């Protein structure tokens, strides 16, 4: 049998289905794993006899549980994320998080990344898929003469783990950051928020990419500068339960009004350019998933984060926008 790149924890899934007496289960997988979704559904159904319903909605984070599907199943298996969310108010009893640990050896890509490291001290971070292998990476780096720091944070479940909206475990004394994982979402955010050079090493593709904070920050500064001329703002409220921040949105609206700005609250599930089109405001403020602000760089109107909007309101310094 072909070795899977992730640990799908089939034995745990089967045991939970039996233990809870589930008859119908839901599966929610990240978009990149849609191609294997039907195989996983078939395997679970064949082995346990349950009816399986696949979620066709987004699955960007643990903030993004398919709650409508959760209502009609006995158990919902949400793949690819951890359940550690300080901002999550409701602990879903029916949702089981399957972290999808990678089965790929990370040492070869770390050995390749060493050539790109300039400093003596490296902050080491990873997405949950690789976090269990950070000590292997540490061994490689130490043997190459580097000092390694793996940060801890109360906001995440594992040491060195980063989320797209939480880089607190990367706030460590170091010269640069080595990120183990895929895509640009996390490393670009890391560079933006820590102000440090980030070397991203993807164990699946063996690709090494470099993210320079100055380039990314310049783009955000120009977005804030554009919003300084705005007279009206749409304040976006994310309707996914893990992203819902009504009190913050209301507070921002009040502050905007106090500064003589026209502000409107807009609730939505997904923040896309299409969903913002047509609203007669000059700029938007996003209180939902912070996403990679790079995503918003291509939107027609400025879309600011909460901190960036506070700069526009004169409540935060330009230098303090990433704190
Ligand atoms: S970055 Fe966005 S999608 Fe990812 S966990 Fe945070 S709020 Fe959710």
Q: Are residues 173 and 149 in the same domain?
A: yes
Q: Does residue 309 belong to any structural domain of this protein? A: yes
Residue 164 CB less than 6 A away from ligand 1: yes
Q: Are residues 133 and 222 in the same domain?
A: no
Residue 64 CB less than 6 A away from ligand 1: yes
Q: Whose CA is nearest to atom 4 of ligand 1?
A: 61
Cα(277) to centroid of ligand 1, in Å? Answer: 23
Rounded CA separation 112/106 (Å):
10
pLDDT in tens, 234-254: 999 999 888 899 999 999 999
Q: Are residues 224 and 149 in the same domain?
A: no
What is the atom index within ligand 1 of the atom nearest the CA of 166?
Answer: 6
**Given its phi and psi angles, is residue 231 left (phi above 0), alpha (psi -120 to 50 degrees) or beta?**
alpha
Q: What pLDDT score was predicted for residue 96?
A: 93
C-beta separation of 92 from 123 below 8 A: no
Residue 162 CB less than 6 A away from ligand 1: no
Assign residue 316 the CATH number of its domain: 3.40.50.11860
Q: Whose CA is nearest to atom 1 of ligand 1?
A: 164
Alpha helices in the chain (DSSP H): 10-20, 34-48, 67-71, 107-113, 134-143, 185-194, 213-227, 246-258, 273-276, 293-296, 306-312
Q: Are residues 114 and 81 in the same domain?
A: no
Cα(119) to centroid of ligand 1, in Å? Answer: 30
pTM given for the model = 0.92
Cα(164) to centroid of ligand 1, in Å? Answer: 5
End residue of a domain, out of 68, 100, 132:
100
- Residue 291, domain extent: 216-322
pLDDT in tens, 31-74: 989 999 999 999 999 999 999 999 999 898 888 899 999 999 99
Q: Does residue 57 belong to any structural domain of this protein? A: yes
Rounded CA separation 221/297 (Å):
11
Cα(305) to centroid of ligand 1, in Å? Answer: 14
Q: Does residue 256 belong to any structural domain of this protein? A: yes
What is the atom index within ligand 1 of the atom nearest the CA of 185?
Answer: 1
pLDDT at 111 over 70: yes
Q: Are residues 121 and 192 in the same domain?
A: yes
Q: How confident is the model at residue 292 (pLDDT cuts 50, 70, 90)?
A: low
End residue of a domain, out of 74, 100, 126:
100
The residue with greater pLDDT, 216 or 121, is 121
End residue of a domain, out of 100, 135, 165:
100
pLDDT at 205 over 70: yes
Assign residue 112 the CATH number of its domain: 3.40.50.11850
Q: Are residues 153 and 237 in the same domain?
A: no
Average pLDDT over residues 85-110: 82
Q: Does residue 91 belong to any structural domain of this protein? A: yes
Q: Does residue 30 belong to any structural domain of this protein? A: yes
Rounded CA separation 187/172 (Å):
16
pLDDT in tens, 269-279: 989 899 999 99
Residue 289 CB less than 6 A away from ligand 1: yes
Assign residue 47 the CATH number of its domain: 3.40.50.11840
Q: Are residues 253 and 192 in the same domain?
A: no
Cα(105) to centroid of ligand 1, in Å? Answer: 26
Average pLDDT over residues 289-298: 72
Q: Are residues 278 and 220 in the same domain?
A: yes
pLDDT in tens, 1-35: 466 799 999 999 999 999 999 999 999 999 989 99
Alpha-carbon distances of 115 from 118, 134, 137, rounded to whole Å: 8, 18, 14
Q: What pLDDT score was predicted for residue 12?
A: 97
Q: Mean pLDDT over all residues of the chain?
A: 93
Looking at the 3D structure of the chain, how many domains does it have?
3
Cα(258) to centroid of ligand 1, in Å? Answer: 30
Q: Are residues 177 and 82 in the same domain?
A: no
Q: Are residues 221 and 317 in the same domain?
A: yes
Q: Are residues 145 and 55 in the same domain?
A: no
**DSSP secondary structure letters along 80-124:** S-----TT-----TTEEEE--EE-S--HHHHHHHGGG--SSEEEE
Q: Are residues 124 and 162 in the same domain?
A: yes
Residue 85 CB less than 6 A away from ligand 1: no
Q: What pLDDT score was predicted for residue 87?
A: 41
Q: Does residue 1 belong to any structural domain of this protein? A: no
Alpha-carbon distances of 125 from 164, 221, 251, 258, rounded to whole Å: 12, 26, 34, 41
β-pairing, 198-202 vs 147-149, is unpaired
pLDDT in tens, 158-197: 999 999 989 999 999 999 999 999 999 999 999 999 999 9
Q: Does residue 139 belong to any structural domain of this protein? A: yes
């Amino acid at each position: 049998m072909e070795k899977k790149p992730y640990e799908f924890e089939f034995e745990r899934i089967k045991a939970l289905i039996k233990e809870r007496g589930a008859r119908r289960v839901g599966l929610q997988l990240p978009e990149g794993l849609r191609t294997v979704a039907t195989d996983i559904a078939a395997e679970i159904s064949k082995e346990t006899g349950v009816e399986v319903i696949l979620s066709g909605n987004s699955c960007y984070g643990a903030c993004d549980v398919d709650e409508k599907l959760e209502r009609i199943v006995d158990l919902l298996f949400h793949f690819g994320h951890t359940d550690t969310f300080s901002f999550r108010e409701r602990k879903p009893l029916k949702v089981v998080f399957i972290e999808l640990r990678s089965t790929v050896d990370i040492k070869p890509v770390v050995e390749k990344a060493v050539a790109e490291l300039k400093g003596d001290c490296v902050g080491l971070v990873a997405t949950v898929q690789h976090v269990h292998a950070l000590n292997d990476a540490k061994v490689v780096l130490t043997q190459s003469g580097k000092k390694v720091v793996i940060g801890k944070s109360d906001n995440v479940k594992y040491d060195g783990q980063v989320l797209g909206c939480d880089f607190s475990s990367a706030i460590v004394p170091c010269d640069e950051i080595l990120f183990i994982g895929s895509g640009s979402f996390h490393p670009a955010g890391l560079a933006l928020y820590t102000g440090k050079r980030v070397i991203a090493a993807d164990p699946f593709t063996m690709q090494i990419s470099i993210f320079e904070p100055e380039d990314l920050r310049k783009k955000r500064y120009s977005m804030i500068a554009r919003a300084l001329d705005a007279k009206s703002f749409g304040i976006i409220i994310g309707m996914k339960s893990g992203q819902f921040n009504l009190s913050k949105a209301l507070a921002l609206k009040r502050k905007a009004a106090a500064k003589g700005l026209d502000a409107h609250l807009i609730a939505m599930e997904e923040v896309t350019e299409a969903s913002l089109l047509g609203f007669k405001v000059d700029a938007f403020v996003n209180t939902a998933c912070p996403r990679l602000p790079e995503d918003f760089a291509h939107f027609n109107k400025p879309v600011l984060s909460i901190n960036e909007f506070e700069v526009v309101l004169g409540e935060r310094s330009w230098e303090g926008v990433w704190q």
